[in-house]
Amino acid sequence: MSTGTPFDRGHTDGLMSFLAASPSPYHAVANAAARLEKAGFQQVRESEPWDAAPGGRFVLRGGALIAWYVPESATPATPFRIVGAHTDSPNLRVKPVPDTGAHGWRQVAVEIYGGALLNTWLDRDLGISGRLTMRDGTTHLVNVDRAVLRVPQLAVHLDRQVNEGLKLNRQRHMTPVWGLGESREGDLLRFLGEESGLPAEEITGWDLMTHSVEAPSYLGRERELVAGPRMDNLLSVHAGVAALTAVAQRGSQPGTIPVLAAFDHEENGSQSDTGAEGPLLGSVLERSVFARGGSYEDRARAWAGTVCLSSDTGHAVHPNYPERHEPGHHPLPNGGPILKVNVNQRYSTDGRGRALFAAACERAGVPWQSFVSHNDVPCGTTIGPITAARHGITTVDIGVAILSMHSARELCGADDPYLLANCLTAFLDG
């Protein structure tokens, strides 16, 4: 429910700017890194030695980022407090041979990434963004943030039954158009080279995707809602950066080491070198322990006291489909972050985790809600169970309640991003 009086909308304004500037996971981690550097964090490279000095550090790998703050009071056995999130969102991604077309239309071949709500990508102005890799191995971000692509829907006159149920073939019906004429090999790369000032003939690799060019915006009579892309799960990434930098800038001396782990590839199972099921987080935490002179025994002691809040969006009760929700658990926008529970471990929360989360919300003065799926509706999952199982650490699944999850444009309460950030700050500073 709405609180009536808005909370600090400066955080939500910042979130909308972050969403707009982060059309791909690569842009998201670059923007997060820039905010960390402004707060005094330093990038360290995996291929170089790490020192034991206190302060903020971060590692970038592809579309993933791990950042941590070592207080002066830390010992090699000091446990970690981790906020986990992910940088990727369902979308349309460019195929290895991108130039295609038919019947006088030039098109771009795409593959469906993650569990996209396909109909939301129809008749929407799309840009193209991602990462280009050059012959010399260097990478460059590219973002054509204007309307260059569109997936046109078939007119109702040619499909009289469409309003009785739209059926989309992922191979045949989702190919966007971007011009007229005969498609030629190399067209897209030449275009992106011109846009980014790079020689097209030197582009030998790419990780490209489409994005809606419609800007995030407040919505509602009292602007109590926010509509925008990629809230699942850049909302949590942004809140995690805000929380980590707040703890670092306070000069706090918590009895733990606060960490932000923003992974890629959550939407397709997390099985990659930058996903939660890969070794990245464990490697970074271990190296942090060893850089401070720790042993394997110190590492084991640190892990034993470590806790992770896996922050991802969850489902707000939908007013038009209340029967799809568990009747005793109806999270609402602006009601505060949600605690996500599933006894079959699709979420990793248990009773101890619930108490830890409740304590963080209480310290922050933040209300919170519970979420559990309807028994007849299969439950999704997150990086939470993966993190708990892979690293053997206590993990709690939380998030913000939204509508239209996996749509090209999602909806949340305008106060909830701020409430989540305050909860995460209290958790990391606890």
Interaxial angle between packed helices 9-21 and 25-38, expressed in degrees from 0 to 180 and rounded to the nearest 10: 130
Residue 284 has which token pair?
Answer: 């970074």
Report, as ranges of residue numbers, the positions in the chain whose pLDDT lies below 70: 1-8, 252
Q: What is the pLDDT of residues 305-339, one digit of tens each?
A: 999 999 999 999 999 999 999 999 999 999 999 99
Residue whose token pair is 């109806």: 330
Instruction: Give the separation between CA 150 and CA 211, rounded to whole angstroms.
Output: 10
Instruction: Give the residue among 219, 258, 261, 214 at the shortest CA–CA distance from 236.
Output: 261
Q: Which CATH superfamily is domain 91-212 in?
A: Aminopeptidase i, Domain 2 (2.30.250.10)
Residue ranges at the known binding site for Zn(2+):
86, 157, 406
Query: What are the percentages of helix, strand and coil residues in the chain, rounded to 5?
Result: 30, 30, 40
User: Which residues are bridge partners to 85 per DSSP?
Assistant: 262
Cβ contact 144:86 at 8 Å: no
For residue 8, what pLDDT is reported?
A: 64
**DSSP for residue 291:** H
Cβ contact 53:356 at 8 Å: no
Instruction: Give the residue among 305, 326, 322 at the shortest CA–CA distance from 376.
Output: 326
For residue 430, what pLDDT is reported?
A: 80
Q: What is the pLDDT of residues 211-238, one digit of tens each?
A: 999 999 999 999 999 999 999 999 999 9
Instruction: Give the separation between CA 84 and CA 276, rounded to whole angstroms.
Output: 9
Angle at 214 between CA 208 and CA 220, to 5 degrees: 140
Quickly count: other Cβ atoms within 10 Å of residue 254's Cβ.
Answer: 17
Cβ contact 228:405 at 8 Å: no
For residue 6, what pLDDT is reported?
A: 47
At the top level of CATH, which class does the domain 9-89+229-428 belong to?
A: alpha beta
For residue 4, what pLDDT is reported?
A: 39
For residue 1, what pLDDT is reported?
A: 34
Q: Map out the domains of the chain as residue ranges.
A: 9-89+229-428, 91-212
The alpha helices in 216-318, defined as continuous H runs, are 231-250, 280-291, 296-304
Instruction: Give the separation between CA 96 and CA 281, rounded to whole angstroms.
Output: 30
Give φ, ψ of 348 to 5 degrees: -95, 5
For residue 93, what pLDDT is reported?
A: 98
Q: Is 314 exposed, middle or buried (0-12, 13-18, 19+ CB in 10 A)?
A: buried
| 424 contacts: CB under 8 Å, gap ≥ 6 | 83, 239, 240, 242, 243, 309, 311, 360
Instruction: Give the separation between CA 33 and CA 54, rounded to whole angstroms.
Output: 18
For residue 254, what pLDDT is reported?
A: 77
| 411 contacts: CB under 8 Å, gap ≥ 6 | 219, 225, 226, 227, 333, 402, 403, 404
For residue 99, what pLDDT is reported?
A: 97
For residue 251, what pLDDT is reported?
A: 77
Instruction: Give the separation between CA 155 and CA 160, rounded to whole angstroms.
Output: 9
Residue ranges at the known binding site:
86, 157, 406
| Cis, bond preceding 143 (omega within 30 deg of 0) | no
For residue 250, what pLDDT is reported?
A: 87
